[in-house]
Every structure is written in C-alpha cells, then in structure tokens.
Chains A and B, each alone.
Chain A
C-alpha cells in the first residue's frame, strides 16, 4: 500500500488530478452548507456579471438563479451520475464479459454479437432513443447512460477471462469440483478486476460528458441543478452574457480531467512497466 502511494505520488499529473477530484468532492459535500437554499430558486436580479454583486460571486443566470449555488449542487449531480452510471455499465460489462470469456463457444459467440451490435449503434443515438421512450427523469437518464456504456468493459473483462481461464489455478479449482459460479466470481474475477477498475475512470468521464450533452439539448431532467442544463440555458444569452455558459463548462472540464488523471495515475501505479508511455 505504501509503495503504491509512493508510485502514485511520483506522477505530478496524477497528484493534480487527485487534488481536483478532492476539490469537486468537497464542493459536492459542502453544497448544502454554503448554499442551503434550493439552487434552482430565484435568488436575485437576472444576468448579473460575476463580481458585480458581492452576494453572487459567480453572477446570476437568465432567470435570476445563483450560478455559484448551481455549480456546487451540480458537483453532486455530476458525481452521482458518474458513479451510478459507471457502476451499472461496469456491472453489466463484468457479468457479460465474464460469462462470455469463461464459457467460450456458442455462448461467447452470441454475447459478442450482441456487444458488437451495441458498438455498431452510435451510443449517443441509442441514448436519445432510450430517453425518448422512457422519459428524462434523472434516474432514467442515469440508467440509460449506464446501459449504453457497457460494451467496452465487457470486452475488457472477456479478454482477461480468456487469458485466465486456462491457468493452473483455475484447473486446480475445477479438479477440486468447485462450481462454475464460484470459480468465476471468487477465483478468476479478483484477478481480472484491476484493469477493469482502471478503465472505469474512462467510463465515468464519458458518462459525465454524455449527461451534460443530453442536458445541453434539454433532453435531461430540467428539475435538477445539472451543469449541462445551465450551459443550455446560457446559450440563449450567449452573445453578451457568455459567462452563464462558460462557468459550468469549466466545471465539467475540470471534473472530467480529474477523473481521467486519477484513472491514468492508478494505471501507471498499478502497472509500473508501462511508465513513460
């Protein structure tokens, strides 16, 4: 553990990423404390520039809501979307990848065809279809993002299982008469997990970007303080009050950057051989 921390801290980018991530988590944690009021409630005169009014240090949007409050509460939404959608995607991916990789043969063929089908269909398009069918409440959107993001983790898990399933320790388990389910989850999965966990950071970054794009198009939940919603709103006043769109965009950028830097840092610390790539 100590060595892992030292390996991680050796990369400045990974440390910056971790600090940024702590900052975003801190914003999410203190949102209620700094901004106890509903972030979507009317707070003051609309379209005040940042700094113009000491009460709103990031200004107000077109309907007079405090942008700083929306940024802080938005951090919660972004992290929530990232975590839940990623868990769903990685969960489905591990399940399908493990079964396909472990059993091989016709099971593998069928599951891989389905995976390919999902990869052939542009995932944002599938997201649009899902949202238009099931509506755009936050819970639906999060599940939909998870459902369109599983193929890559599934392929990764399958590849790991393919290389692990004929190892000696697996043969030994079979000889001992262990059941398939036990071998898959107790024996092979812990060995296959590290690269999948590292890849989860990519899934999380993409999930946050997908939701913000959806919110920007006004197809996500409008009753939630999502950064994407605010960018979409600011588009109406883009020519003059461009800060309304600019500020939440920076928040998304930094969050996604933090998640990918931490992911890369973990990857480098876990696979020291790949360092310098």
Chain B
C-alpha cells in the first residue's frame, strides 16, 4: 500500500508537466500556417465561399479567441474528448485507438528484447571483464548505439526479406490470407520480428553498457564478499545477490527512455509500414492534421507517464528500502 501511495504521489507530480506540454504544444500549433478548416478545404479541392468557411470554423470552434479555444480544448480533454479529425473523418480518439495496439505491441516487444539481451550480455561482459567476450560485446554495443535505426531496418529488409525471403518486409499481417487463431498470431509475430529488432537495437546497446557498469560496481560491494566468504558458488551469487541490485539502474532507464522509444517508433513504423501511433504522427504532420497531432502528443505523454508509474512500482519492489524511506 505504501508503495502505491508513493507511486501515486509521483503520478500526481507529473500532472503539471502534462499541463505544460498541452498548453505549450497547443500554443505552438497556433503558429502553424493554416488551421483544420484550411486543411479540410484543401483536401476537398480548395475553394469554399466565405460563408461556408465561417460556418466550418464555428463548427470546429475556431471562431473564438485563442485563450478561449485553449480553455475549451482542456475542458474537452478532461472529458476525454480529443476532438474531430477532419482528414480521417472520425473522432481523433477513434483514430488513435485504432493505431495504439500496433505501437504498444512494438514497444513492449522491443523493450523485452532489449532488456533481456542487454541484461544477458551485460552480465556476460562483466563476468569476463577485459576478456574477449567482453571486447566483442562492448564493441557490438558501441556499433549498435551508432547505427541509425531506420537504416538498420532497411538493410534488414534487403537481407531477410529480399534476398533470404525469410520474413515479410512490412505491414502488420498478411492481408487477404484470412488467417485465424494460431496461424494469425504466428503471422503477426513474423511481421514484428524485424521492427522489434530495429527499434530494440539502440536500447540493447544502452542497456548492456549500463548493466555491465552496474554489475562491476555491485560486484565490489561488501555483501558480495560476504556471500563469497560464505562459500556460495559464483552463479548463485550472481543470480540471487548481484543481479537484483545491479538491475536498478536499468529499470530507471526504462522510465527515462520511454519517450525516446515512442519517438523511435515513428521512424520504425514508417520503415515497415506498420499502422501504429508513430506512423499516424508522421501522417498527421504531412497532412497538417493538427487536431490529430495534438491528440497524439497528449496520448504519448500519458503513455510515458504510465510507463514511469509502472517503473516506480517495479523499482520499489526490487529495492524495498525505497518504499520505506518514502513514507
């Protein structure tokens, strides 16, 4: 319970940030050339007489002053109404909800991939510090960190989809095959292999470096010496004693980088034409669908805050001292 109240307090503390983001981006978008009505008219092939334009502006609530519009917008957000997307012809919340599953799937898959292998490689590198395994892993980490994700994705498509023809080059599932049940799950999974690797690679690089450093740090602490003195074997010391403590910085990083990962999914979803939130953001920018863009900003910020909330809970579980000190 104490953990929950602590994390809840952190959650409440993120509300001002959310408000700053919304007001800031709303005002920023006021500077954009053209509004929703202009975009809509442009899509209908231009034209539209003054009366229709004015009518449309009133319909979208654009005929009042900016502060009033902002107030209206925030009040609608409180009621979870994100407005109407003129480009897609449906409420923004519907558009976003349609796109959310692909992004959530991609993010959680990449995060698990990066976390698991980062942990594994970090531990191996730290166990054999300055040995050849360490050199290979550290070099790979540096290379992965410097690789532009979209380029890695393109090269993976060339190798695995075009030449070897092992995996599909894009999309979320095979269209028109009518797969159901298990076949469909496997089909979607095969479509997510390359995007997951592409998005996860840079985080894998970061996690393995942090894990290695943190393992080396924890291995020098007194309780490890005590465990060794008790005669525990090395594997047991690593898995039961060191790992739990060494994982803390990695868990912190998940929270810090949730935003970066969401940003990275914009590019990765474009490379693999996945119908996700990131691709929606890109389309909204290209089509000047500012209402949708603002909605995505709001949802992304909520996602980042939610991830941080979960990280806080996890953190307090891993290190019980945190919950005790916090109360």
Residues of A within 8 A of B (CB): 13, 113-114, 116-117, 119-134, 205, 209, 212-213, 216-217, 219, 228, 231, 234-235, 238-239, 242, 245-246, 249, 252-254, 256-257, 260-261, 276-277
Interface membership of chain B positions 181-225, coded 1 if the CB is closer than 8 angstroms to chain A and 0 otherwise: 000000000000000000000000000000011001100000000
A239 to B286, CA, bound (A): 25
A-B complex: 7 closest residue pairs judged by Cβ atoms: A124-B263, A249-B151, A122-B263, A256-B146, A117-B20, A257-B146, A122-B259
Closest to A202 in B: B145
Q: Contacts of A254 on B, CB cut-off 8 Å?
A: 146
Q: Contacts of B288 on A, CB cut-off 8 Å?
A: 132
Q: Contacts of B149 on A, CB cut-off 8 Å?
A: 213
Contact between A120 and B296, CB atoms less than 8 A apart: no
Interface residues of B in 231-280 (CB under 8 A from A): 256, 259-264, 266-267, 270
Closest to B129 in A: A276
Interface residues of B in 116-154 (CB under 8 A from A): 129-130, 142-143, 145-152, 154
Interface residues of B in 13-48 (CB under 8 A from A): 14, 16-18, 20-21, 24-25, 28-29, 31-32
Contact between B150 and A116, CB atoms less than 8 A apart: no
The answer to whether B3 has its CB under 8 Å from any CB of chain A is no
A210 to B29, CA, bound (A): 21
Q: Which of B142, B143, B261, B264 has the most CB of A within 10 A?
A: B142
Q: Contacts of B73 on A, CB cut-off 8 Å?
A: none
Contact between B262 and A125, CB atoms less than 8 A apart: yes
Closest to B158 in A: A242
Q: Contacts of B157 on A, CB cut-off 8 Å?
A: 238
- Min CB distance, B260 to chain A, in Å? 7
- Contacting B14 at CB < 8 Å: which of A116, A238, A260? A116
Contact status of A238 and B154, CB under 8 A, knowing A114-B20, A120-B21, A217-B270: yes
Contact between A253 and B266, CB atoms less than 8 A apart: no
Chain A binding surface, main DSSP class: helix
- Min CB distance, A50 to chain B, in Å? 15
Contact between A119 and B256, CB atoms less than 8 A apart: yes
B49-57, B297-305, B317-325: which lies at the A interface?
A: B297-305
Residues of B within 8 A of A (CB): 14, 16-18, 20-21, 24-25, 28-29, 31-32, 129-130, 142-143, 145-152, 154-155, 157-158, 162, 212-213, 216-217, 256, 259-264, 266-267, 270, 281-282, 285-286, 288, 293, 296-297, 300-301, 304-305
Number of A-B contacts (CB under 8 A): 152
Q: Which of A123, A131, A209 has the most CB of B within 10 A?
A: A209
Contact between B142 and A261, CB atoms less than 8 A apart: yes
Q: Contacts of A238 on B, CB cut-off 8 Å?
A: 154, 157-158, 162
A242 to B266, CA, bound (A): 22
Contact between A253 and B285, CB atoms less than 8 A apart: no
Closest to A255 in B: B146
- Min CB distance, B272 to chain A, in Å? 12
Closest to A264 in B: B142
Q: Contacts of A231 on B, CB cut-off 8 Å?
A: 148, 150-151, 154
Contact between B267 and A213, CB atoms less than 8 A apart: yes
A127 to B148, CA, bound (A): 17
Contact between A213 and B148, CB atoms less than 8 A apart: yes
- Min CB distance, B54 to chain A, in Å? 25
Q: Contacts of A114 on B, CB cut-off 8 Å?
A: 20
Q: Contacts of B129 on A, CB cut-off 8 Å?
A: 276
- Min CB distance, B67 to chain A, in Å? 19
Q: Which of B31, B32, B146, B151 has the most CB of A within 10 A?
A: B151
A244 to B249, CA, bound (A): 40
Q: Contacts of B28 on A, CB cut-off 8 Å?
A: 129-130, 133
Contact between B29 and A246, CB atoms less than 8 A apart: no
Kindly list 12 other residue pairs between chains A and B, CB separation below 8 angstroms, not including A113-B17, A260-B142, A277-B213.
A123-B259, A125-B297, A128-B282, A212-B148, A213-B267, A217-B282, A219-B286, A231-B150, A231-B151, A252-B151, A253-B143, A260-B146
Contact between A133 and B143, CB atoms less than 8 A apart: no
